[in-house]
Amino acid sequence: MRLTAPALELRKTPLNAAHRRMGGRMVDFGGWDMPVQYPAGTIEEHLRTRTHAGLFDVSHMGEIDVRGPGSIAFINSITSNDASKLIDGQAQYSALTTPQGTVIDDLLVYRFAADKFTLVVNAGTTIKDWDWITSQPRDESVELRNVSSEYCQLALQGPDALKMLQKLTDLPLEEIKYYHFDQGEVDGVPAIVSRTGYTGEDGFEVYAAADKAEQLWDKILDAGNTGSPEGVLPCGLAARNTLRLEAAMALYGHEIDETTTLLEANLGWICKLNKGAFVGREALAKQKEEGVKRRLAGFEITERGIARDGQEVVIDGAKVGRVTSGSPAPFLKKNIGLTYVPVEFAGEGQQVHIDVRGRLVAAQIVKTPFYKRAQ
């Protein structure tokens, strides 16, 4: 997760003032002024999300509406997964790929009706994605709108998320299946409530009008008894990053980008080669037939040391890759990371070394995800 000191003219989410009031430490995150952590600190935010609940502002994410009778065919032509399998009220993890099969972005596809979809894309790639999507051929029945500025998005994550959010809505949250959503009111505000997240925990993402962001933020914190030892904590980008890393979830710009493919990133399950033509299909089919030469793998440091993004991975004195993400794992109390290595070295138990500022630190390839919540 690459962060820099705040700069001028950063974009702000509707919750910017709230973050500052609550003592959020603000940083430049891909051109957005975002909280990296709050006074409780990253470790406590991480642990509270694992044990009770954490609340995240993800309003910087992009939303693109796709409307019209040709929506399914269009979405299937530009994404790797099979949108025709979705039913109303279901979400799908997917990706946009180049003709070479590399990743333009990963995204969520929400189906409201056969002619009504919303694509949720990464904040730092929203403009790139919009330009690429609108450049792709589509029939005249398909209407595209970039509605990113119209929404706020709050993610309430953790084992207590359901009971906390249920206090504010009549929607039967228990009945919403994972990767499904419903529409109703949260604290009287019209909202989309989706059982999705980026932490490895159960939880919900709430989409609503941007001008309702502070109301929902404050009410969710109140409903979650923030301030109590078992209450919800507001969480920043750093905790979101360590949580997703424990769950071995790919982060665009780190594990996936326009130099990596879905097959290399262990995302073949969202690559439906039999659904028909889509951008990148031929390249991915060829790679699948020939076999990938490198693969994303998880590693655990086995001696003292912390791996960081960009550090070299060494096997028998040879440099074989670089760390894509590396960090202490607060809940697991281990130092972990992700890296691409040649497939012959990607098996569990493979011994590797990480070049940590000139010192070779021992590590081994392990099964991912590092953390998996109890069902």
- The model's pLDDT over 95-114, given as tens digits with 9 standing for 90+, comes to 999 999 999 999 999 999 99
Number of structural domains (the chain) is 2
pLDDT at 279 over 90: yes
Residue 42 shares a structural domain with residue 171:
yes
Residue 179 shares a structural domain with residue 325:
no
What would the mean pLDDT of 270-280 be, rounded to a whole number? 98
Q: Is 155 helix (H, G, I), strand (E, B) or coil?
A: strand
Residue 71 shares a structural domain with residue 147:
yes
Last residue of a domain, one of 195, 230, 249: 249
Q: In this structure, what CATH number is given to the domain that contains residue 241?
A: 3.30.1360.120
298 inside domain: yes
Residue 303 shares a structural domain with residue 240:
no
pLDDT category of residue 218 using cuts at 50, 70 and 90: very high
What would the mean pLDDT of 211-224 be, rounded to a whole number? 99
In the prediction, which pLDDT does 2 show?
53
81 inside domain: yes
Residue 299 shares a structural domain with residue 203:
no
Last residue of a domain, one of 214, 249, 284: 249
Residue 65 shares a structural domain with residue 200:
yes
In the prediction, which pLDDT does 358 show?
95
Residue 325 shares a structural domain with residue 242:
no
Residue 123 shares a structural domain with residue 242:
yes
pTM (predicted TM-score) = 0.96
pLDDT category of residue 161 using cuts at 50, 70 and 90: very high
Strands 103-113 and 233-235: unpaired
Residue 333 belongs to domain spanning? 293-366
In the prediction, which pLDDT does 3 show?
54
What would the mean pLDDT of 74-89 be, rounded to a whole number? 99
State the Cα angle at 7 between 6 and 10, rounded to 5°. 95
265 inside domain: no
Give the helix ranges, DSSP H, for the chain: 16-21, 42-51, 71-78, 126-135, 161-166, 213-223, 237-246, 281-290
pLDDT category of residue 8 using cuts at 50, 70 and 90: low
Last residue of a domain, one of 192, 227, 249: 249
299 inside domain: yes
- Rounded distance, CA 95 to CA 75, Å? 11
pLDDT at 54 over 80: yes
Residue 37 shares a structural domain with residue 103:
yes
Q: In this structure, what CATH number is given to the domain that contains residue 356?
A: 2.40.30.110
358 inside domain: yes
302 inside domain: yes
In the prediction, which pLDDT does 359 show?
96
What would the mean pLDDT of 75-103 be, rounded to a whole number? 99
Residue 4 shares a structural domain with residue 118:
yes
276 inside domain: no
Among residues of the chain, what percentage have pLDDT more than 70?
98
pLDDT at 1 over 80: no
CB 329 within 8 A of CB 290: no
- Rounded distance, CA 19 to CA 214, Å? 10
32 inside domain: yes
Beta-bridge partners for 362: 353
In the prediction, which pLDDT does 7 show?
46
State the Cα angle at 100 between 98 and 104, rounded to 5°. 25
- Rounded distance, CA 80 to CA 85, Å? 13
The per-residue pLDDT for range 319-349, each reduced to its tens digit, is 999 999 999 999 999 999 999 999 999 999 9
